[in-house]
């Protein structure tokens, strides 16, 4: 028994566009357009990224560096709120040593757990979550 399809492949009338450029444009290769390249897009209000942590000292520098690069490259207004459940691995000292003013650390010693950390972060967020 063989199966055959009677459907014809669909054709696209025009190439898809993103911000006025074809999706396969060399100007788009590997990155999103920065805010300055998108005059029709206004910078959004501040967004707070909430990161609940427990014993993540070795991962935090990488996360912060990645967010800093994205924030700078795209001109985003974002804050990072790290909600730590009293890790005794040096997370607090690591974050305190960072020079970025948009990073905040909350160390919780009671009501620990992922759900409670996210809720506490949402209550303390300065921007939109």
Q: What is the CATH number of the domain that holds 42?
A: 3.90.550.10
Would 1 be classed as within a structural domain?
no
88-110 residue pLDDT tens: 999 999 999 999 999 999 999 98
- Beta-carbon contacts of residue 73 (< 8 Å; ≥ 6 apart): 31, 34
> Helix-strand-coil percent breakdown of the chain, rounded to 5?
30, 20, 50
pLDDT of residue 127: 83
How many whole angstroms separate alpha carbon 90 and alpha carbon 128? 28
Would 129 be classed as within a structural domain?
no
**Which residues, given as ranges, of the chain have pLDDT below 70?**
1-44
Domain range for 105 is: 36-124
């Amino acid at each position: 028994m063989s199966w055959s399809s009677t459907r014809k492949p669909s054709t696209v009338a025009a190439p898809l566009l993103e911000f006025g450029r074809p999706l396969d444009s060399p100007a788009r290769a590997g990155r999103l357009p920065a805010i300055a390249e998108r005059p029709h897009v206004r910078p959004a209000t501040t967004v707070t990224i909430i990161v609940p942590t427990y014993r993540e000292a070795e991962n935090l520098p990488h996360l912060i560096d990645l967010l800093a690069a994205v924030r700078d490259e795209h001109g985003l207004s974002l804050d990072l709120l790290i909600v730590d459940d009293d890790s005794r691995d040096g997370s607090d000292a690591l974050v305190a040593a960072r020079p970025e003013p948009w990073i905040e650390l909350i160390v919780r010693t009671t009501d620990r757990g992922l759900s409670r950390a996210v809720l506490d972060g949402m209550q303390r967020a300065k921007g939109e979550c």
